[in-house]
Structure 1
Amino acid sequence: MKKSFILYSFLIIFGNSVFAQKDSTQLKQEVEVVKAYKPSISDAFKINDIPQIQDATAKKPQFNYQITPQPVFTTFPTEPLQAAQMVGEPKAKQGKGLLKLGIGNYQTPYGEFFFNTKAGKKTDFGLHFKHLSSNGKVKLINTDRVDAPESNNLAEMFTKHYFRNSSLNTRLFFDRKGYTYYGYAGNFMTDEEKEMLIPHWQEKQAMSKGGLQLNLFSNEDRRSETNYMVNMNYQYLGSKTGQTEHFAQLGTNMGHDFDSFKGLLDASVTYLKTDSIFNNTSDAYGIKQQILLQIKPSILFEAETASLKAGINLFTMLDDDSDARLLITPNIYADWWPVEGVLALFAGADGYIKHNHYSVIAEENPFVDPYQDVENSEYQYILFGGIKGQLTKRLNYRFQVDYSSIKNQHFYVLNNFVKPENETELSSLNNTFDVQYDDLKQLTLRTELYYTASELVNFHLKGNFYSYDLNTLETAWHKPGFDLTLSGMIHPEGPFSFSTEIFVVGERKAPVVTINPLANSTTSVYTIEPVIDLNFGMEYQYSPKLSFFGRANNFAFQKYESWLGYAQQGFNLLIGLSYSF
């Protein structure tokens, strides 16, 4: 029965070629993932470059509906340079490469290399390599100084081939992140106590992921009534603790211009196989296999100052260990510009299944139990609306309200175990996270302002305020009431340029559950204090090819936790040079 349903759904997804899209914002955004890198010293040191708020009639804004905790912004993953951009006009004049080298406190070496060339008249070729690691000690909230080594190694190869009516992007990559389980909650413990009570104390973990991504899309042609994109993605993940994951996805995005509207179709099928986890359904260590089918048909009506998209989202989750799940949600977006370019009103409704497979959860919280098997969440509906526009030539804005209904949302907790014969004596204290589940209603108020004082100075402010309504849990563990980000870029005349970022995250609550096999569990609630993380960057352009940079993170010297028990580095500094050729 399952096989028949899969085959039938596959035919539906890839047989409906009558849908298409001539000028889809969503399609174009996905098309331009792979871009040809153009090294330029003036662009070589853009720390978290600030995007402008894009506003255009009849274009659906891309919102992030995830409710995963927004930073705490760890100061470890210093990003002095954004990833290589791999496109542009194939005949554009461009340099071939960029080398960046740096060193910082916490025994932090940094290196990054980009190379771009034309492999033929119709082919671009690019390479990107990166290393960033840290080997210093971190002081926990309980004053314990512990070793907290981390490393990040990335290798990527890009190509883009231009056909007559289409283009093909490819990305071959390997990404390895290494770290240890260095934290714990509660009072200071001696090394002997930690070795005896904490199962994963200072255990090394590494997530190695490699894969291939293919993206075939039709070239933009205003004469064509049909547009398409086909994505193929495979990746393999292996962990040092023995877990493996095979992830494969095939998707398409099509659009077709009819006389009075556009027909759109977004569809995909995802296959997942994870091994050596504790399967929550079977209560045994072993394999988990899932198939997720997504079909999103819609129609788009466009006028000079307004647009309306109406459709549905259909999701089916097939799991070897449980019954199939079907979710149908609205797919609606409308906007209207009563004052063109100055004021727009927008509203919509959406929903989806959040596929919480192994690599997604490990990326969200690296200190989760390595044998984790987190259940999927269903965003049954997401209602949103707001206003956006441009108050002045220099000030863009967006104000938005979201209301979401989420079934089976996970929240991270730490579990301790006591000896049945003595409830005051611990048998183990976990420093890896388990999860609790609850249904959630979330209200989010969003604010975004982008101010350009001049061509040389700009500022970007983003703020989110959250309200959580849960069925059974006391509070939304590890989730803040608000977060704010203020970023600025200053490029005065002369060889210097500056950037600054301020991250503020509200207070969070986190539980430690003490489990007694012969009695009821008890929960101790800890308060994670608010975060104020100040960062500053500077570049000195010595010559057209050579520049020097510096990056100071957490220069307010605040001691804060990303997750309960896991404090982040204090003040850290990275200095280095960039050379383009």
Structure 2
Amino acid sequence: MFNRKKQIILLIASIVTTIMVAQEREQDTLNPDVINVIKPYTPSISDAFKVKESPTIDDDQTQTKKEIEYNIFSFPVASTFTPAKGKAAVVDKTKKVKLYDNYASLGFGSYTTILGEVYLNHELGRGENITAYVGHHSSSGNIDGNFVDDNFLDSKIDLSYTKRERDLTWMLNGGFQLQKYNWYGLPTFLVGTEIPLETVNGLDVGHNFTNAYIGGDIEFNDGIFKGANVLFRRFGDNQGSGENRFKIKGFVDVPVNNETLNTEIKLDYLSGSFERNYFNTNELNYSNFQVAISPTYQLKQDDLTVDLGATVTFLNDGEAGENKFYIYPNVSATYRVLDETVIAFGSIKGELLQNSYYDYATLNPFVSPTLFIVPTDQQYNATVGIKGKLSNALNYAVSASYKSEKDKALFQNNLMPYGFASEEAYQYGNSFGVVYDDVSTFGFSGELNVDINRNFTLGVKGEYFSYNTKAQEEAWNLPELKASIFMDYQITNQWFAGANVFYTGERKALIGFNDVMNPDFPTFINATQTVVLGDYLDLNAHVGYHLNDRWSVFLKGNNLVEGTYNKWLNTRVQSFQALAGATYKFDF
């Protein structure tokens, strides 16, 4: 090692000595005294060259840059940093709508119409409420073309008490109603001829109905007994008629071999009397008692739900002294074809319908107190259709039905007795009775409902019916076409509006004389005639404004387009009607 260092030192010393000697020799050859300048240097363009921005690299190999890797050697460090708690951004809240438990409404309109309502709801304690409703609607009538009084009145009061407990909920309710109407539907073409004017001027066609009821409901949260409801109703009039009805219905889940039968049990008792029938003074009495049981078994598999059951009914006709048994199908099914968009459904059911004076008077307040009342044997009512949701705000349903009914009640104009003086105010062709016939009905219906943000709702429904009667010439007073439209629109927080439209197609009615009491009835007189009641369109609308949380004002218009029309034969309704009023909401 030492010898190698010595050799290197000697080599360096030799190189330095050689360079120094060479410089001395060059200095010796130069003549520093005289410099002869022959011509100054004049540069030319060819001597110039451009320096390149990117010089050419003459290296044999161009080295590539090495990739640099950054490695972080982390290790845990104790930290005392505590982040601040996040705070939600402030959102502008809309004012909470104040909901009141009670309201009172009062309005006045044309034809001296008065409309009033009061609803009260008070919480007595936890799960304990009492409610009361009082309503009144009256009008002086004065319809053009009527020869007698045509005013009406409808007043009622309903009370209820509800108690919610841990295992059950029960309610008691009751009420009273008074209605006053007039048999004003005199056949105008007979006034002055068959019906003298002096008789018409002194005719008191007023009559009223009284309705008192008491009932209750109970619902159990656990156990096989699910609930029951009971009702007792006393209905009558100022013509000496009276009717009592008591019905109770219970719901029980009966376990059978680890399965459950949903069973409904019904008891329905009806009895009543009329002072006379239409043609003589013989009293009319009726009494029917029904017991029905309807067990149903539900089967579910994927998208299919089927309810299989039947209804067995026992009828005791107290007046006729007859007992009968009826068996009806009680089957229904639904199948989800396409989730909630398309749902197919179908059913075939039947029942023994308990007709009553109260039901007839509710449908047609111009009935006479001389009715013959029997139940209707609805042998079956078959329905098929589809329903579903086209969107979250759009629902639809389309269905077709066919039903067969024995002793179906049809309203028919009471024919005028010929050949003897009318003893009652309803014997001038101005009242209605009921006739029974075996009727089969084919029906088709379509329905569309729109609900957008709870500010706009729209419902449209149309129905078509085709009737086939056995004994009667026509299905009296039953329309082939019916349609309805309902709309409510919350325009702003203050303004609201709504409308409803009812369309009823043509109906067939019977008019003329009854010759049963007079064998000498002239043969050249056509005793009865079938007339066609024209269709009608009843448009009603309302608009209102909320003055504040408590006060609102409204304006209503009824029968806006059709004018005076006949809902029943010779019973013209009020034409354009307007009513204005106010509503006040409050709490105790």
Which residue of 268, 273, 279 maps to 2:266? 268
Greater mean deviation of Cα atoms: 533-542 or 258-267: 258-267
Task: Work out whether residues 284 and 372 of structure 2, in 8 Å CA contact, stay in contact via their aligned partners in 1.
Answer: no
- Structure 1 pair 196/295, CA: closer, same or farther in 2 (3 Å)? farther
Query: Aligned-pair distance for 1:565?
Result: 1.1
Shift of 1:366: 1.3
Paired letter, 1:466: F
* Change in 2 beyond 3 A, CA 1:436/1:195: farther
Change (3 A) 1:186 1:524: farther
What are the residue-to-residue correspondences of 1:394-543 with 2, within 5 Å? 394-414=393-413, 415-419=415-419, 429-516=428-515, 517-518=518-519, 519=521, 522-543=527-548
Shift of 1:347: 0.8
- Match of 2:224, as an amino acid? T
Which amino acid is the alignment partner of residue 523 of structure 1? T
Q: Which has the higher contact order (CA 8 A, sep 6+)?
A: 1
- Cα deviation, 1:476-523, whole Å, max 9, x if unaligned, reads 111111100011111122311110111111011100142222158832
Once the two structures are superposed, residues 142-162 of structure 1 have per-residue CA deviations (whole angstroms, 9 ceiling, x without a partner) of: x34543111111111111011
Matched, 1:548 2:548: no
CA deviation profile, 1:430-450 (whole Å, cap 9, x unmatched): 311123322111001011001
The residue aligned with 1:380 is 379
- The Cα of 1:328 is off from its aligned counterpart by 1.0
RMSD after superposition: 2.7
C-alpha change, 1:194 and 1:547, in structure 2 (3 Å) is farther
Q: CA deviation at 1:279?
A: 7.2
The 2-side partners of 1:438 and 1:195 are apart by 37
Of 154, 168, 171 in structure 1, the residue corresponding to residue 170 of structure 2 is: 168
Distance change >3 Å, CA 260–CA 456, structure 1 → 2: farther
Candidates 209, 212, 233, aligned match of 1:210 = 212
Q: Which deviates more, 207-216 or 453-462?
A: 453-462
Return the alpha-carbon distance in structure 1 between the equivalents of residues 164 and 454 of structure 2.
34
SS at match of 1:550: strand
Counterpart in 1 of 2:157?
Answer: 155
Shift of 1:194: 5.6
* Alpha-carbon contact 1:290-1:317 (below 8 Å) kept: yes
SS at 2:365 equivalent:
coil
Partner of 1:128: 133
2:297 & 2:199 partners in 1: Cα distance?
59
The alpha-carbon deviation at position 190 of structure 1 amounts to: 4.5
What is the identity, as a one-letter code, of the residue corresponding to 1:203? V
Structure 2: which 5+ runs fail to align? Answer: 1-95
How far the C-alpha of 1:365 sits from its partner, in A, is: 1.5
Tell me the equivalent position of 1:46: none
Structure 2 counterpart of 1:249, which letter? Answer: K
| 1:288 Cα deviation after fit | 2.5
Offset at 1:133?
0.6
For residue 180 of structure 2, the aligned residue among 178, 181, 193 is 178
Deviation of 1:535 after TM superposition, in Å, equals: 0.7
State the SS of the aligned residue for 1:375. Answer: coil
Q: Is the 8 A contact 1:412 1:435 kept in 2?
A: yes
Aligned to 1:242: 240
8 Å CA contact 1:347, 1:386 repeated in 2:
yes
Instruction: Please say if residues 101 and 110 of structure 1, whose CA atoms lie closer than 8 Å, have aligned partners that are also in contact.
Output: yes
Q: How much has 1:334 moved relative to structure 2?
A: 0.5
C-alpha displacement at 1:199, in angstroms?
A: 12
Letter in structure 2 aligned against 1:338: V
Secondary structure of residue in 2 paired with 1:359? helix
Q: 2:195 aligns with which of 193, 207, 232?
A: 193
1:443·1:468 contact (CA, 8 Å) conserved in 2?
yes
- Residues 429, 511 of structure 2: 8 Å contact kept: no
Residues 176 and 207, structure 1, Cα contact 8 Å, conserved in 2: yes
- SS of match in other structure, 1:187: helix
The match for 2:314 among 313, 316, 340 is 316
The one-letter code matched in structure 2 to 1:214 is G
Q: Is residue 197–residue 428 contact of structure 1 (8 Å, CA) maintained in 2? A: no
Aligned 8 A contact 2:313 2:352 in 1 = yes
Structure showing greater radius of gyration is 2
What code does the residue aligned with 2:419 have?
K
User: Displacement, 1:573?
Assistant: 1.2
Q: Secondary structure at the match of 1:445?
A: strand
CA contact (8 A) 1:279 1:288 kept: no
CA distance in 2, matches of 1:560, 1:527: 13
Q: 1:254 aligns with which of 231, 236, 252?
A: 252
What's the offset of the Cα at 1:359? 1.2
Amino acid at match of 1:417: P
Q: Secondary structure at the match of 1:429?
A: coil
2:142 pairs with one of 124, 137, 143: 137
Decide whether aligned partners of structure 1 residues 296 and 385 sit closer, same or farther in structure 2, where only a CA change above 3 A counts: same
1:360 match: secondary structure = helix
Q: Which amino acid aligns with 2:156?
A: L
Distance 1:131 1:181, change over 3 A: same
> SS of the residue aligned with 2:476?
coil
Judged with a 3 Å threshold, the aligned counterparts in structure 2 of structure 1 residues 371 and 150 are, in CA distance, closer, same or farther, namely same
Counting only pairs closer than 5 Å after superposition, residues 69-108 of structure 1 correspond to structure 2 as 95-108=100-113
For the Cα contact (< 8 Å) 1:138–1:146, is it kept in 2? no
CA distance in 1, matches of 2:473, 2:331: 33
Change (3 A) 1:193 1:262: same
* Distance in structure 2 (CA, Å) of the matches to 1:226 and 1:522: 61
Q: CA-to-partner distance for each residue in 1:458-477, whole Å, 9 max, x for gaps?
A: 21101110000111322111
Gap regions ≥5 residues in structure 1: 1-41, 44-92, 422-426
Deviations 1:72-123 (A, max 9, x none): xxxxxxxxxxxxxxxxxxxxx9634211111111111121111111122231
How far the C-alpha of 1:218 sits from its partner, in A, is: 1.1
Native 8 Å contact 2:146 2:184 kept in 1: no
Alpha-carbon spacing, 1:308–1:198, altered in 2? closer, same or farther (3 Å)? farther
One-letter amino acid of the structure 2 residue matched with residue 110 of structure 1: L
Q: Give the C-alpha shift of residue 374 in structure 1.
A: 2.6
Are the aligned partners of 1:394 and 1:451 in contact in 2 as well (CA < 8 Å)?
yes
Report if aligned partners of 1:200, 1:431 keep a CA contact under 8 Å in 2. no
Equivalence map 1:333-372=2 (5 Å): 333-372=332-371
Counterpart CA distance in 1 for 2:417 and 2:132 is: 49
Structure 1 residue 408 displacement after superposition: 1.1
**Secondary structure at 1:544 match in 2:** coil
Instruction: Report the CA distance between 1:525 and its aligned residue.
Output: 1.1
AA matched with 2:157:
A
Query: Residue 410 and residue 456 in structure 1: after superposition, are their counterparts in 2 closer, same or farther (change >3 A)?
Result: same
2:359 match: secondary structure: helix
Deviation at 1:135, TM superposition (A): 0.8
CA-CA distance at 1:316 after TM superposition: 2.1
Q: What's the secondary structure of 2:473's corresponding residue?
A: coil
Measure how far apart 1:277 and its partner are. Answer: 4.4
Write the distance in 2 (CA, Å) between the matches of 1:133 and 1:304: 55
Tell me: CA distance 1:279–1:350, structure 2 relative to 1, closer, same or farther (3 Å): farther
What are the residue-to-residue correspondences of 1:25-104 with 2, within 5 Å? 95-104=100-109
The answer as to 2:329 corresponding to 1:330 is: yes
Normalized per residue, the structure richer in strand is 1
Q: Say whether the 8 Å CA contact 1:181–1:200 is kept in structure 2.
A: no
